[in-house]
Amino acid sequence: MELKKDSNAVSIDMLLIVHSEKRRAAQGTHSDRQADPGALPQRRGGFQGVRNGIRRWQRFEGNDVQGSLAEKQHPQQTQVITSYDNQGTQLTVEVHPRDAMPQLLKKFSLAKRLQSDKNGNTRPRQPGTKDAHAYPWDRSSLKSMPLDLRQFEKLDTYASQVTVKSGLDELVSDLLQEAHSDLERVRVIWIWICHHIEYDVEAAQEKDRQAFKPTDILRTQKTNCDGYAGLFEKMCRIAGVHCVTVPGYSKGFGYQTGQSFSGEFDHAWNAVYLEGRWHLVDSTWGSGLVDSSTSKFTFLYNEFYFLTHPALFIEDHFPDNKNWQLLKPPQSLRQFESNMYHKSEFYNKGMLSAHPETSVLRTVNGKATITIESRAPTLFMFMLNGKQEHGLLSLRKNGMKLDIYPPAVGTHKLQIFAKGNSDVYSSVLEYTLKCNYVDLSVRLPAELHQPVGPSWFSEQMGIVKPSHPDPIIHTSDGRCSISFDVEEGISVLASLHGDEGPITEETQRRYIFQLQREKRAELKVQLPQAGKFALKIFVKKRLEPGNYVFVFNYLLCCTNTKVNWPMFPESFGNWGQDNELLEPLSGVLPANRDVSFKLKLHGVAKALVKGQDTWPLTLNQEGYWEGSCSTAGCREIYVMVLENANHNFYSYILKYKVNAQ
């Protein structure tokens, strides 16, 4: 058979014509394979039934063929079978009615973008040294080639809005209208699939389901991982871009930290050939995620899996052929299983590394420490067994440090979340924490939230130059004074929390007395007893509506069992930010005693103390209001001020209780 070549055609290594059984019977041929030495060997395998919710690939040894039926059509229509051996060599066969022009010839004649090398060979070379990236990751880029994602903004918008009109060829043709390079052609196909094809959870859980056909995927706009990979490959081939499907193991939906992999493969993705080099993509994971609690799919575009750097891709993708790792040196399956798994959001949110680099941690003397390095200041939080307890998380300018103290012996689940530039915390790391000893002396308050200690975040919120830069404050007598500068227009609020003792929701602010001296705020703290307490700091812009926002907290520790400080006096709204109380600091006064008062009050005309009788306070030369009163016959004592000398209305600013006789 003579094939006429034009300037845009490509060479064909082999054309294999396979006749239907009906025609072979009419010609008197036998069905024995030896009678047709050119026929493809039949293999069972390729796509297998579903296990754990994802279609499986069968793993073959040696040089067995990994056959994949790309698309089954009506007997009278052209059928295309594409197969690969374990070296990645591709064989494409068409089965078509007699006298019909082979579709491959049509496509090859029209595929002007398929460039041949100097020998006329259109098949891309197999992955080799030129494609390999250094392992471990060099922190240079998340991508395997230089990319400026801003250049794709208009292209991405266009591709996401293209709709299916008829078939796959027309869809690709519409997408390519705005694409002018192989990179842009791959990009529009990637964007369209990620924004239009939904992961079919129900179909993925069915057993013995046939392979997804592109026509069915376009009609239902649903598929599973092998359907995503097959559709991506087919669309790339129509666009004239070399692409292959890569099966392997994955740390995806249902993965358990530290699990091992064996038997059938559970995932499939793609490799594309761009600018003389192979690159990796996973459109399944680029399109969204499955909620483990509801098994529902949600579209949530993930840029990370487009042309991912191979040293990062290997963290959750292990291919059947090590060459498709595109790494030097390649990783073994055992390394893949034991290596720390950093989720895609770990890198999306600017993380660089985490220590220790193992997914299973063991406590030392009841404690485990994790540190994370990031490119920029980032907010973090953690959960131990689903609760934000039993840990001290401190922020750093380029990362964070977490000291975790499991409350019981055994195995625990530790999750770490990061916020990045978005308003949502995303899970970035998961650890299995094994504890064989509990330090009972380290029992943290349940209300100790994250982060602990001042940091770049507290500076950003208007609190600077703290007197105590460390997150833990030890006090021997149960008292401490903490101060910091506060930016103009910022109000500060503090509350004290402990797991035991007299502190309640009503009194959690009464063990703190707040003073303001120009731009510096001071918090005087008196603990009701020995123990560990969380001192929470909140801020709010004075002129803006809304609630106070939590910024950070200190951990206050006292081992002195003799400590038994009373509450401070209760202050009211007219107690000014710049006022100062020198005495009495105790909110509970003794009965039948004369008590001295000394305060600095700004902007008042008169001041007095009111109990059973009224006692005026006088302003001394140092600017303090002084005086005394008797607590005889009183249950409560009030300090009152007159702000305007022309008025007779006094305001309450402080309230004291008097002990019972």
Q: How far apart are CA 497 and CA 393, in angstroms?
A: 18
List CB contacts of 51: < 8 A, sequence separation 6 or more: 264, 266
133: its two tokens: 């990236």
User: Which residues, in sequence order, are bridge partners of residue 90?
Assistant: 84
C-alpha span between 223 and 202 (Å, rounded): 10
Q: How far is CA 488 from the centre of its chain?
A: 35
Structure tokens at 367: 């404690």
**CA of 413: how far to CAs of 258, 382, 416, 436, 446, in Å?**
12, 11, 10, 15, 18
List beta partners, residue 106. Answer: none
Q: How many residues does the chain have?
A: 661
Q: For residue 360, what are the β-bridge partners?
A: 432
User: Parallel, antiparallel, or unpaired: how do β-strands 588-589 and 594-600 relate?
Assistant: unpaired
Residue with tokens 């100097």: 118
SS3 per-residue string spanning 207-237: CCCCCCCHHHHHHHCEECHHHHHHHHHHHHH
- Residues 6+ positions from 42 with CB-CB distance below 8 Å: none
Q: Which residue has the tokens 């060829």?
A: 169
Strand 651-658 versus strand 588-589 pairing type: parallel
How far is Cα 43 from Cα 26, in angstroms, rounded to an integer? 26
Residue 476's Cβ-count burial label (10 Å; 0-12, 13-18, 19+) is exposed
Q: How far apart are CA 101 and CA 513, in angstroms?
A: 90
3-state DSSP of 30-68: CCCHHHCCCCCCCCCCCEEEEECCEEEECCCCCCCCEEE
**In this structure, is the dihedral angle defined by the CA atoms of residues 461, 467, 469 and 471, taken in order, positive or negative?**
negative
Task: Report in angstroms the alpha-carbon separations of 324 from 18, 122, 530, 615.
Answer: 32, 20, 61, 88
Pick from 600, 476, 561, 463: nearest CA to 519: 463
Are the beta carbons of 168 and 180 closer than 8 angstroms? no
Classify 417 as helix, strand or coil. Answer: strand
Which positions are annotated as active-site residues? 225, 267, 282
Q: Give SS3 for 505.
A: coil
Phi-psi region of 465 (alpha: psi -120 to 50; beta: other; left: phi over 0): left
